[in-house]
Amino acid sequence: MFEIHDERLGRLKIFNVTEARANFAEVLKEDEAKVVVTRHGRPTKILIRYDEYLSLMGAAAQHLPTEFPEAQASPASVIIGSEDEKPGRSANALPPKWVQREAEQLVSSLKGLFNK
Give pLDDT tens digits for 73-106: 555 554 544 444 445 544 445 555 666 666 667 7
State residue 24's pLDDT score.
93
Q: Which residues of 51-89 are buried (b: 16+ CB within 10 A; e: fewer)?
A: eeeeeebeebbeeeeeeeeebeeeeeeeeeeeeeeeeee
Which pLDDT value is given to residue 91?
46
Q: Domains of the chain (ranges plus CATH)?
A: 2-48+79-114 (3.40.1620.10)
Q: Which pLDDT value is given to residue 23?
A: 93
What local confidence, expressed as pLDDT, does residue 84 receive? Answer: 46
pLDDT for position 82: 46
In which residue ranges of the chain is pLDDT below 50? 78, 80-86, 89-92
